[in-house]
Amino acid sequence: MPISANKLLFVQCLISCVTVAISAGHGHFSPPILPRFTDLFPHLTFNGSYSEFFGGPTKVRPSNDGSRIDLILDKSSGSGFVSKDHYYYGFFSAAIKLPPDYTAGVVVAFYMSNADVSPHTHDEIDFELLGHEKRKEWALQTNVYGNGSSTGREEKFYLWFDPTQEYHRYSILWNQHHIVFLVDNIPIREVNHSQAMSGAYPSKPMAVYSTIWDGSKWATHGGKRPVDYKYAPFQVSFTELEMDGCKWNRTMPVPLCSKNGQDDQSSSDPITGDEFVSLSQQQKVGMEQVRKSFMFYSYCEDRARFSVLPPECNERK
């Protein structure tokens, strides 16, 4: 009896000690040095590539040269901007500086979607940053939806830095081989275009959205901490905007698209090269390091929610 009690204590300590180590661990994690995908693509400007999505000109504020865009959330509404084009595969990135101080209930999202053109069979690839009452405790949620699937495939992470102090890069690589979520060029999640994902793999052109909005009902502690507008306005800044991919020419059927205005029917993967086909060994090691230390939720481990886990969960090791 005492032995199992000790064991239990030991296990409990392990869990809480690891939790303490992680929450105290900001700044102690040395991020691995990995290839910088974000250096490979040009930075875009607001007028050239985006338009207002919601919130109006007082809340969607491009800088004079359009290289930076600030978004505001206040009591009257949030705000957002959207790419002028839809893309079929490519590389999509933004450097984001989040609002400081008390931000419980605030959601900043950088995501791709085609709900505007395919409301019943829509695809989506999401980064959602979830505010917190303590500035360093922002959480990052990633998600993928394909072809109208209603199964959320969430994975949640703490960050190894204070995301309100400086800009950090959040990037999506999406092609016929896989989807990779990267933070400061470190892969944190890979979704393979495998047989198991099949219909749930995003496979139609999507637009790129950047938004800030009120997620009071769910974002922080499951909705227990709503937005406190005493701290408004909440401002988030976006810069180093990158979208390089196959632009969808809407007059053509889906797989035909053009890069730089030129029709390219030979390939639907606009970003070519071995580094985009699969992760290097080095990148896999970096990804595992982050997942081991900072991932705190994966749908693939949620047996309370799924009596049968989605099939792709059984593919990974």
What residues line the site for ligand NAG (CB under 6 A)? 121, 147-148, 190, 192, 199, 203, 249, 251-252, 258, 261, 278, 315-316
**Closest CB 170 distance from ligand NAG, rounded Å:** 19
Those residues whose C-beta lies under 8 Å from the C-beta of residue 144, and which sit 6 or more positions away, are 124, 125, 126, 153, 179, 191, 200, 201, 202
Please give the Cα distance from 12 to 304 (Å, whole number): 21
Based on CB atoms, which residue is closest to ligand NAG, 100 or 148?
Answer: 148
Candidates 52, 124, 154, 275; catalytic one: 124
In the complex, minimum distance from the CB of residue 157 to ligand NAG, in angstroms, rounded to a whole number: 15
d(CA 188, CA 127): 11
Q: How far is the CB of 60 from ligand NAG (least distance, A)?
A: 25
Nearest to 95 by CA among 198, 242, 265, 231: 242
Rounded distance between C-alpha atoms, residue 216 and residue 227, angstroms = 5
> Does residue 128 have an active-site annotation?
yes
Identify the bridge partners of residue 156 per DSSP, sorted by sequence position. Answer: 141, 297
Give the residue with the Cβ less far from ligand NAG, 142 or 211: 142
Q: How far is the CB of 255 from ligand NAG (least distance, A)?
A: 12
Q: From the candidates 128, 155, 190, 242, give the one annotated as an active-site residue.
A: 128
Indicate if 124 belongs to the active site.
yes
C-beta of 13 vs 277, nearer to ligand NAG: 277
- Strand, coil or helix: 160: coil
Choose between 30 and 195: whose C-beta lies nearer to ligand NAG: 195
Beta carbon of residue 199, minimum distance to ligand NAG (angstroms, whole number)? 3
Count of Cβ atoms closer than 10 Å to residue 230 Cβ: 6
Task: Decide: 212 and 89 in contact? Cβ < 8 Å.
Answer: no
Give residue number: closest CB to ligand NAG.
199
Which of 221/316 has CB closer to ligand NAG? 316
Is there a contact between 206 and 114 (Cβ–Cβ < 8 Å)? yes
The set of catalytic residues is: 124, 128
